[in-house]
Amino acid sequence: MRYKRPLKDKLASKFMLILTILSSLIVFLMAFGLYQRSRSILATKSLTELLFSTSWHPLKGEFGFFPFIMGTIWVTGVAVVIAIPLCLLTAIYLSEYAHRRIREWTKPLIDLLAGIPSVVYGVWGVLVIVPLIKNHIAPFFGRISTGYSVLAGGVVLAIMIFPIIIHVSVGVFSSVPYEVREASLALGATKWQTVKHVVMRKAMPGVIAAIVLGLSRAFGETMAVLMVAGNVAKVPSSVLDPAYPLPALIANNYGEMLSVPLYDSALLLASLVLLMVVLFFNIISRVVLTRVEKRVQ
């Protein structure tokens, strides 16, 4: 019996290693499957033409993804610009300044935002954000807008990624040893100086990881953005213009009009492009995170 225990441990270790490898390979398997289904359109059109052409006319055999890629970047960029300062300040307040009762009441409400279906966010955006932009924000800047725009998609998307960034950031700030704060305060630093120069410095890698998680969620979000972004296949020139992100393109059209030659292959190529964009930003963020960790150490 004593000799069987090392054998069981070894078998369990090998089994878990295999599961870990399989889990890691899922992304590559997905990419390979999408590539296989996209080969039809890649055989007839160059990748450069597909990625940088602005002409999207499937009935004419024109599949330019550039408006959709830019739409994704615009909406996600606006969402991140809105979300980062609000989320970080909220996380700092909850972890450093808020009374225990406020934290106990606020955290469940923030976490509840993560459980709300995206279609509810979309309906709320249509009923509240779109009219606000149409009737107040656009006229204030001397513009005429239907309200369905990059800004509407960015605001809704920012609210959707709030709970991810806030929840992770609060956990990161709370993990910074209290002794570090005490040492800073003992040297004469104010509470805010301690938070800004000590806590933030120690927590920066975790904060970047939180932002990356929110960014990944923002890139792949479909339904809410689809309902408020406008879905016009044109490169936006301002936040008040409509946009057509890649996830919305796939959700709107896959399963329809597939009798059009190469349409199915084009949409699957759009899925592959979206996967590669998300993977690219995750790799870039990992590189930045590694450099920040080295500087902190």
Q: What are phi and psi of 243, to 5 degrees?
A: -140, 165
Please state, in angstroms and rounded to a whole number, the distance separating the CA atoms of residues 64 and 150. 20
Q: Which of 296, 87, 66, 94 is nearest to 200 (CA)?
A: 296
Q: Which residues pair with 56 in a beta bridge?
A: 63
Cβ(175)–Cβ(228) below 8 Å:
no
Contact by Cβ (8 Å): 157, 80: no
pLDDT at 196: 87
Q: What are the residue ranges spanned by the domains of the chain?
A: 47-296
101/104 Cα distance (integer angstroms): 5
Query: What is the helix (H) or strand (E) element at residue 228, kind and residue range?
Result: helix 223-228
pLDDT of amino acid 155:
93
Helix, coil or strand: residue 53: coil
Query: Residue 63 forms beta bridges with which residues?
Result: 56
> Which residues of the chain are modeled with pLDDT < 50?
none
Q: How far apart, in whole angstroms, are the C-alpha atoms of residue 248 and residue 75?
A: 12
Which helix (H) or strand (E) segment holds residue 145: the answer is none
Which residue carries 């980062």 as its tokens?
84
Q: How does pLDDT run across 70-117, given as a tens digit for each residue? A: 998 899 899 999 999 999 999 999 888 888 888 888 888 887 888 888
pLDDT value of position 288: 66
Nearest to 64 by CA among 262, 233, 275: 233
Q: Give the fold, CATH level 3, of 47-296.
A: MetI-like fold (1.10.3720)
Sign of CA dihedral 129, 130, 133, 136: negative
pTM (predicted TM-score): 0.83
- Length of the chain equals 297
| Contact (Cβ atoms closer than 8 angstroms) between residue 233 and residue 68 | yes
